[in-house]
């Protein structure tokens, strides 16, 4: 049970290349490897979770379940078999098949089957927690099945890591305090014994926090890797140089008479999961705010769906015009845009700022490309923008072309009643309104909520690869299993969802 702590056995000094780094590698690389086939959300398997051990004041963490629920194991196994270099013998051996080569390649003298497998459990997490001294410390919790074998295994890992030092015995600069303690079925690994003991003995755990529970429920689904962060608490714990960079990013003048208050709040929760034919990565921003007014998020209209079915790459963004105007206003207020710069732009280019930014970028903007069969380098690029003043934009384009010295015939753009189209050729203009991408099976599989998302991206990896195979004598076969990649963003500035999917053939 959380809170029960076994005395730590006497050990030799840990080193900077020792247990904490090695244990982090186990969890981190396992998360990345398993996450290569699925990721981020709530794990549905039974038994204690890492958050049942981690303290309630945890700032952020990432956890991995190396033995997920039955449906996820089946999907992981099927997806892994599509890659020739990944050797997984069965659904039940995923954890061991993925971890064994990692230990074989990284630690001398460590036999995974003898030293790690006999005690390693299915779950682990790497967390950031306050250390009580206005700083943050990393803590790892790893599930074990046999405490005695766990102690022996970790001591052997420690000895292996220490043997990789440049001096023998290790110098004072190389020695680092790292310790562990036991909490229920988890070993808590920290940079000093006090922290390890405090975490192992904590009574207020993260799993009991109502806000954390709500965040995980919002993510939903059966996930393999989960990451979570309390944005406000994490920001408050950041070093001053990092927070200063964030203030610069948002152009916050802390010396102003009435400075803008940068006060991040809310939380982030991320996850990866494996479906039968694709991997899904989901990130949710929940009640997220910086204290600085942001442009309102605009629901999408599915503009990218109007592109041709054979589009190999496409991207669309809604509300870009208003966002650009807001950015311009902020820059002008801060002095980044001067009256002299404004006068030059208005004089030479006949621009009416910031209103022309709204017209050019519009309420919806989409761009895409197709390729000629057998010639992957022959791309046709096209775009479509919904705007209230398409004729004005066309006039601006002609002015800009004149400034560059290009011939008018080299510019392909036409104005419509409520939008304008542009492209790399005269034929490209028609492609911008050909229709069909919304019915493309690859597109529909990897792009969530394409008709309403405020931002959408798509790449037909399978077709690109097939064209490269045709064009090259010895193409890289590493991309052969990949089918398509897509992403979408929906929601508003405070509560949004980013979904990315990678499908396999």
pLDDT tens digits in sequence order for the chain, 505 residues long: 333 444 444 444 444 344 444 444 444 444 443 343 333 333 344 679 999 999 999 999 999 987 777 677 787 777 777 776 666 766 667 777 777 777 766 667 788 899 999 999 999 999 999 987 778 899 999 999 999 999 999 888 877 766 655 555 555 444 454 689 999 999 999 988 999 999 999 999 999 999 999 999 999 877 889 999 999 898 888 777 666 666 665 555 555 555 556 678 899 999 998 888 899 999 999 988 776 555 556 777 889 999 999 999 999 999 999 888 888 887 777 666 677 777 777 777 777 888 899 999 999 999 999 998 877 778 899 999 999 999 999 888 887 776 666 555 667 999 999 999 999 999 999 999 988 999 999 999 999 999 999 999 999 998 888 887 665 555 556 667 889 999 999 987 668 899 999 999 8
**69 and 203 fall within a common domain:** yes
Place of tokens 């030479």: 348
| φ/ψ of residue 310, rounded to 5 | -95, 20
**185 and 323 fall within a common domain:** no
**27 and 130 fall within a common domain:** yes
**191 and 73 fall within a common domain:** yes
Question: What SS3 state is found at 109?
Answer: coil
The whole-number pLDDT of residue 227 equals 96
The whole-number pLDDT of residue 160 equals 75
Integer Cα distance of 41 and 353 in angstroms: 44
Has residue 234 been placed in a domain? no
Has residue 243 been placed in a domain? no
Integer Cα distance of 28 and 35 in angstroms: 10
The whole-number pLDDT of residue 272 equals 92
**309 and 188 fall within a common domain:** no
**304 and 200 fall within a common domain:** no
53, 197 Cβ separation under 8 angstroms: no
**176 and 304 fall within a common domain:** no
Has residue 220 been placed in a domain? no
112, 104 Cβ separation under 8 angstroms: yes
Has residue 233 been placed in a domain? no
Task: Please name which of 313, 304, 317, 315 lies closest in space to residue 459, comparing C-alpha atoms.
Answer: 313
Has residue 216 been placed in a domain? no
The whole-number pLDDT of residue 330 equals 74
The whole-number pLDDT of residue 39 equals 32
Has residue 273 been placed in a domain? no
Integer Cα distance of 103 and 116 in angstroms: 9
**184 and 53 fall within a common domain:** yes
Has residue 438 been placed in a domain? yes
Question: What SS3 state is found at 272?
Answer: strand
Q: How many domains does the chain have?
A: 2
**336 and 452 fall within a common domain:** yes
Report the predicted TM-score, pTM, of the whole model to 2 decimal places: 0.79
Number of Cβ within a 10 Å radius of residue 175: 17
Has residue 502 been placed in a domain? no
Domain limit, last residue, from 186, 207, 228 = 207
Question: Cα 495–499–500 angle (5° rounding)?
Answer: 155
Q: Which residue range is the domain that position 335 belongs to? A: 298-481
Domain limit, last residue, from 185, 207, 229 = 207
């Amino acid at each position: 049970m959380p809170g029960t702590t076994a005395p730590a056995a006497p050990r030799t000094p840990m080193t900077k290349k020792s247990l904490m780094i090695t244990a982090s590698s186990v969890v981190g690389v396992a998360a990345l490897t398993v996450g290569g086939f699925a990721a981020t959300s709530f794990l549905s398997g039974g038994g204690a979770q890492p958050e049942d051990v981690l303290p309630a004041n945890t700032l952020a963490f990432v956890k991995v379940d190396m033995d997920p629920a039955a449906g996820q194991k089946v999907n992981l196994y099927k997806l892994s078999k599509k890659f020739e270099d990944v050797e997984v013998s069965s659904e039940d051996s995923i954890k061991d098949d993925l971890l064994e080569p990692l230990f074989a390649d990284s630690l001398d003298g460590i036999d995974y089957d003898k030293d790690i497998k006999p005690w390693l459990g299915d779950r682990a997490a790497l967390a950031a927690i306050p250390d009580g001294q206005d700083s943050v410390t990393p803590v790892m919790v790893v599930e074990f099945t046999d405490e005695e074998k766990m102690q022996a295994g970790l001591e052997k890992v420690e000895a292996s890591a220490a043997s990789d030092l440049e001096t023998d015995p290790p110098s004072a600069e190389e020695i680092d305090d790292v310790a562990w303690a036991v909490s229920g079925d988890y070993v808590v690994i920290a940079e000093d014994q006090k922290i390890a003991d405090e975490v192992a003995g904590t009574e207020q755990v993260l799993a009991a926090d109502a806000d954390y529970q709500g965040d995980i429920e919002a993510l939903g689904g059966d996930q393999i890797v989960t990451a979570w962060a309390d944005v406000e608490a994490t920001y408050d714990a950041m070093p001053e140089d990092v927070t200063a960079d964030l203030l610069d990013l948002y152009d916050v003048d802390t010396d102003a008479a009435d400075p803008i208050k940068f006060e991040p709040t809310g939380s982030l929760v991320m996850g990866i999961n494996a479906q039968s034919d694709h991997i899904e990565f989901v990130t949710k921003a929940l009640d997220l705010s910086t204290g600085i007014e942001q442009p309102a998020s605009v629901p999408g209209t599915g503009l990218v769906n109007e592109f041709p079915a054979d589009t190999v790459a496409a991207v669309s963004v809604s509300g870009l015009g208003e966002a650009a105007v807001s950015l311009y206003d902020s820059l002008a207020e801060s002095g980044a845009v001067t009256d002299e710069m404004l006068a030059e732009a208005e004089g030479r280019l006949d621009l009416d700022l910031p209103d022309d930014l709204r017209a050019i970028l519009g309420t919806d903007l989409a761009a895409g490309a197709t390729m000629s069969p057998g010639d992957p380098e022959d791309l046709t690029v096209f775009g479509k923008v919904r705007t209230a003043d398409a004729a004005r934009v066309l006039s601006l384009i002609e002015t800009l072309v004149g400034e560059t010295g290009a011939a008018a015939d080299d510019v392909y753009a036409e104005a419509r009643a409520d939008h304008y189209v542009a492209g790399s050729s005269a034929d490209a203009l028609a492609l911008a309104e050909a229709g069909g991408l919304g019915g493309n099976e690859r597109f529909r599989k990897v792009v969530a909520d394409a008709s309403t998302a405020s931002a959408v991206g798509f790449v037909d990896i399978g077709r690109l690869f097939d064209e490269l195979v045709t064009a090259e004598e010895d193409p890289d076969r590493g991309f052969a299993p990949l089918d398509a990649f897509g992403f979408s963003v929906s929601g508003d500035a405070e509560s949004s969802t980013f979904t990315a999917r990678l499908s396999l053939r």
